[in-house]
Amino acid sequence: MSKTALITGSARGIGAAIALRLAKDGFNIALNDISEKSFEDNDIIEKITAPGVRCEKYIADVSSHDECAELAKKVKADFGTIDVLVNNAGITRDGLLLRMSEENYDDVIRINQKSVFNMTKHVGAVMLRQKSGRIVNLASVAGLYGNPGQMNYSASKGAVVAMTKTAAKELGSRGITVNAVAPGFIKTPMTDKLTEEQRAAMLKQIAMGRYGEPEEVASVVAFLCSDSASYVTGQTIEISGGLMM
């Protein structure tokens, strides 16, 4: 296969698991993260060793409209096509509403939400010319149901769900599908930051009685990028072990 997948925020966590899975499925991989440092303590590039799979890394801040334009241009020039875009990069800056700073609100909206606009616009232009493409956005159960302490995060992820539907409606007739996944509690550096008390409270609500693994998100993303999902668009699939039903 000579198809290319671009995954944002893929130096570690869920993004790295998605990159690894798509490489196993035969995609060439364009990794992205915000700095060289993000890749330093991670071995994702070494792990992507599937025969015939090409892997390059690109440093860009996906909250910057200009950097995303440059990123899309470079990946297209290097690989010839961009067949899959996974908008994965995201941050948390949790805090109860009355204590949340304006900066923490704005940062989360910029990085989690505006990045999806930036990347979908610039990579979407490439896919429109190709008349094909798959876009998968990382939403969250917090964006569907809300979560105390995450006014900023739940707002950003709720917007991602709405943006997924809008992009699906705009791009569908040109052979481009746009879907989202909404993970619950997945074991990554992002959730490592939670306190024992927060983890225990979360665990009690999960029907399957355990946290999720990044690979369990990656396999659903891989399905949405595969031929098996050719008639699925505008959908948000929860991956939460039954956290909310």
Torsion sign, CA atoms 26, 235, 166, 7? negative
Nearest residue (CB) to ligand NAP, 12 versus 122: 12
Residues that bind ligand NAP (CB under 6 A): 8-9, 11-15, 32-35, 38, 61-63, 88-91, 111, 138, 140, 183, 185-186, 188-191
CB of 1: closest distance to ligand NAP in angstroms? Answer: 25
Class of residue 213 by CB neighbours under 10 A (exposed 0-12, middle 13-18, buried 19+): middle
Nearest residue (CB) to ligand NAP, 62 versus 168: 62
Nearest residue (CB) to ligand NAP, 34 versus 127: 34
CB of 92: closest distance to ligand NAP in angstroms? Answer: 7
Which among 145, 153, 211, 231 is annotated as catalytic?
153
Report the 10 Å Cβ neighbour count for 41: 9
Nearest residue (CB) to ligand NAP, 70 versus 80: 70
Helices and strands in the chain, H and E counts:
11, 7
CB of 213: closest distance to ligand NAP in angstroms? Answer: 10
Burial 227-243 (b: 16+ CB within 10 A, else e): eebeeebbbbbbbbbeb
CB of 161: closest distance to ligand NAP in angstroms? Answer: 12
Please, which residues have CB within 8 angstroms of residue 49's CB and are 6 or more apart in sequence?
none
**CA 57: distance to chain centroid?**
16
Nearest residue (CB) to ligand NAP, 35 versus 230: 35
Compute the distance between CA of residue 25 and CA of residue 39 in angstroms, rounded to an integer.
23
Judge contact between 72 and 8, C-beta under 8 A. no
Is 153 an annotated catalytic residue? yes
CB of 154: closest distance to ligand NAP in angstroms? Answer: 11
Judge contact between 21 and 215, C-beta under 8 A. yes
- Residues with a catalytic annotation lie at 153
